[in-house]
Structure 1
Amino acid sequence: MAKDATKDHSGGGDPTRSLMLLWRKQNQAPVRNGRRDLSVDRIVGAAIEVADTEGLIALSMRRVADKLNVGTMSLYTYVPGKAELIDLMLDTVYAETAKSGDGAEPGGAGSGAGDAAAPGWRGELHRVAHANWALYHRHPWMLRVGVSRPPLGPNVMAKYDRELGTIADIGLTEVEMDTVLNLVIGHAETTARRALEATATESDTGVSDEQWWQAHSPVLNTLMDASQYPRAAAVGAAVGAVHGTAYDSSHNFEFGLARILDGVEALVASRKSE
């Protein structure tokens, strides 16, 4: 994942223009210099390719124009600026979670991967988590965008509605349904971020986490008295023996997801017993 110097935020553009663009209600841009092949969708597609391959730090109206082999000013006929473009990019990639089979199983020892085949809401919510985990891995730049003010486009709304449908009518209040989704997707986001940071660190240094720990552990053992930190020493050794590193993102994703689902299941069961 690229190390961006600053963080962009969704919802930073002109509200009316952003929403008109997201819902494709703006007037069609006039044809310039005989070009009829330029469109909002083409611009957004090129911008996503730039962000996927070069990182969000490389994204600019000029870079997208270069990729499309057009003048930078041509883009402003369709999209007023980078803020609106980022909203369009996010709304576009969110649509990917609707695809069947989205989200490979990370696996990991002690995981809750069995939930993938679980019937009912638990299996569905498990698939929601994996779809979001996979989305962040396909588009790491998403983790560099603050989305406390999400782009209110059709794909964002469809994603939210579809994900809410996995836990509809199971005994949760509307606020609890929203909170459960925030827990599940937030967990996928956090563990995906750790996984992508590890990948970026390995790429930047040429040293894997396992190699790093193998180099540092012998030195640490000569400096640290394990009897002073007995729990840290014992648990750290056990984790290192299983994962070869101090933190395994895939394992933590699966284990944490299973515990979240356990908690939701306990809440649902308590409602039925009331």
Structure 2
Amino acid sequence: MTSGRGGTESSGSGDIARTLDLLWDTGRRPSRGPKPGLTLERVVEAAIEVADRDGLGAVSMRRIAAELGTGTMSLYRYVPGKGELLDLMLDRVQRPSDDPADLGDGGWRAALEALGHATLALYRRHPWLLEVNQSRPILGPSALDGMEKVLARIKPMGLSDPELVSVIILIDGYVVGAARTQLYEQEAERSSGLTDAQFWEAQRPALEKAMTSGRYPVLAGLSEDTFGPDFDHFAFGLQRILDGLEVLVARRAGT
């Protein structure tokens, strides 16, 4: 499961019972489609494509109908409205891979490391996820499949069940923060018209003067590559989280 910051939309904002019917394929299907080839899966995929390309705010029943080349009212035969559609979108993008190797080929640490990188990649592919408040998610098959696979891999940590879930929340919270920072950087570059290099170059004269003033001796003494692009801050932070969990697991094993 993923968790995003509070944003323009919230999961669970539609008819919960109807959404669960659609997610778990227990609801009544249209007896005949208004257009050959139109399916619920295709409606959801079209909505995700629009959100990926133009943002979550661009997703509407009218816009999705136009993308599919059908009438707006035709979509209501498949999904009641945008609230339910959003929950279907969330579950669809969280569909886990069938390849067990995607969670690493080692123990719980390798699984969590792979989870962290996979979740960051998910937010990069679908930045609109950061606009959704998922504090009360509707749990569909994809979300539960993903949770089941991760929990099965980290169960050997020897922690309590609430602690195992908290481990997943910990990793996800770290990834969300990193993903949000990257998204903000992209938005700043797009809105300002300045690349990251151009932005910092504009500040260089003032910063050089500050560094030679003697007021900031520690900062002035930092190596030239301190703020360079080659250091992977995300990977460094993720490894330190895993190091901390290693200590906890060892402590529990010893007691």
CA contact (8 A) 1:7 1:145 kept: yes
CA contact (8 A) 1:11 1:149 kept: yes
Structure 1: 5+ residue stretches without partners: 1-5, 104-115
* Rounded Cα–Cα distance in structure 2 between residues aligned with 1:271 and 1:181: 18
Q: CA deviation at 1:243?
A: 3.0
1:89 aligns to 2:99 (yes or no): no
* Rounded Cα–Cα distance in structure 1 between residues aligned with 2:239 and 2:71: 50
What residue number does 2:58 align with? 58
What residue number does 1:127 align with? 114
Secondary structure of the structure 1 residue equivalent to 2:25: coil
Q: CA deviation at 1:32?
A: 5.4
Runs of 4+ in structure 1 deviating by more than 6 angstroms, as ranges, are: none
Q: CA deviation at 1:98?
A: 4.8
* Rounded Cα–Cα distance in structure 1 between residues aligned with 2:204 and 2:141: 51
What residue number does 1:253 align with? 234
In structure 2, relative to structure 1, the CA distance for the partners of 1:235 and 1:223 (3 Å cut) is closer
What residue number does 1:151 align with? 138
What residue number does 1:15 align with? 16
TM-score by length of 1: 0.83
Counterpart of 2:195 (choices 205, 208, 220) is 208
Q: CA deviation at 1:61?
A: 0.8
* Rounded Cα–Cα distance in structure 2 between residues aligned with 1:49 and 1:100: 27
1:243 aligns to 2:229 (yes or no): yes
Provide, for residues 222-250 of structure 1, a one-character-per-residue CA deviation record: whole Å limited to 9, x for no partner. 3677533444554596633x338xxx7xx
Aligned ranges 1:182-197 → 2 under 5 Å = 182-197=169-184
1:166 aligns to 2:153 (yes or no): yes
CA contact (8 A) 1:62 1:72 kept: yes
What residue number does 1:29 align with? 30
In structure 2, relative to structure 1, the CA distance for the partners of 1:32 and 1:204 (3 Å cut) is same
In structure 2, relative to structure 1, the CA distance for the partners of 1:226 and 1:80 (3 Å cut) is farther
1:180 aligns to 2:161 (yes or no): no
* Rounded Cα–Cα distance in structure 2 between residues aligned with 1:273 and 1:235: 41
CA contact (8 A) 1:23 1:154 kept: yes
* Rounded Cα–Cα distance in structure 1 between residues aligned with 2:101 and 2:185: 26
CA contact (8 A) 2:96 2:145 kept: no
Q: Which moved more, 1:42-51 or 1:205-214?
A: 205-214
* Rounded Cα–Cα distance in structure 2 between residues aligned with 1:145 and 1:192: 14
* Rounded Cα–Cα distance in structure 2 between residues aligned with 1:236 and 1:79: 57
Q: Which moved more, 1:230-239 or 1:193-202?
A: 230-239
In structure 2, relative to structure 1, the CA distance for the partners of 1:170 and 1:153 (3 Å cut) is same
In structure 2, relative to structure 1, the CA distance for the partners of 1:150 and 1:234 (3 Å cut) is farther
* Rounded Cα–Cα distance in structure 2 between residues aligned with 1:189 and 1:38: 34
CA contact (8 A) 2:211 2:219 kept: no
CA contact (8 A) 1:102 1:134 kept: no
- Give the length in aligned residue pairs: 249
Q: Give the residue type in structure 2 aligned to 1:165.
A: A
In structure 2, relative to structure 1, the CA distance for the partners of 1:63 and 1:96 (3 Å cut) is farther
Provide, for residues 159-203 of structure 1, a one-character-per-residue CA deviation record: whole Å limited to 9, x for no partner. 111111221022111111011111112111211221122123223
Secondary structure of the structure 1 residue equivalent to 2:124: helix
Secondary structure of the structure 2 residue equivalent to 1:78: coil
Q: CA deviation at 1:99?
A: 4.8
Structure 2: 5+ residue stretches without partners: 1-6
* Rounded Cα–Cα distance in structure 2 between residues aligned with 1:125 and 1:235: 32
